[in-house]
Structure 1
């Protein structure tokens, strides 16, 4: 996507899951959507990296605090504007 492109690709639950798996070095199927991702090794630096990726690539406006308060994909999906 170019800097001039104002149409961001919408996030989906599966894309969030794949991105989380990517930063954790895991297979997406091994990342549950309904469990605390901190238990799987997700730390604040990785949350920030994911958030920056989603802001850049998908135009999300969620904050770090939003994601850190509820570190589960199913909680993040509505905050990130993810389609089902």
Structure 2
């Protein structure tokens, strides 16, 4: 999918945590990010940020399964969380 070194599991976790105002290690991999306060506008901002870094990601890829572990797989092309 992508070979960008900046798109690691750690980067995805940190980007999501930043938008939620949390520490990255405070996010559970299987927790519903919408329940934590992420909304469609923030998801779109993440999509644009990750596309700019080289990811092939679409809004529905994230919105349909709003769990961090799934997002890491989609954005990094399968790197483990």
TM-score (norm 2): 0.83
**Equivalent residue for 2:70, pick from 71, 75, 79:** 75
Residues matched between the structures, number: 77
Q: Does 1:49 align with 2:55?
A: no
Q: Which residue of 2 aligns with 1:22?
A: 18
Q: Are 1:10 and 1:82, in contact at CA under 8 Å, matched by a contact in 2?
A: no
Unmatched tracts of structure 2, length 5 or more: none
1:20-61 CA-to-partner distances (Å, cap 9, x unmatched) read 01111111122111111011101001101111111112x111
Runs of 4+ that moved beyond 3 A:
none
Q: Which residue of 2 aligns with 1:36?
A: 32
Task: Pick the structure with greater CA Rg.
Answer: 1
Q: 1:79 to 1:60 in 2, by over 3 A?
A: same
Distance 1:48 1:21 in 2: 15
CA RMSD of aligned residues (A): 1.6
Bigger helix fraction: 1
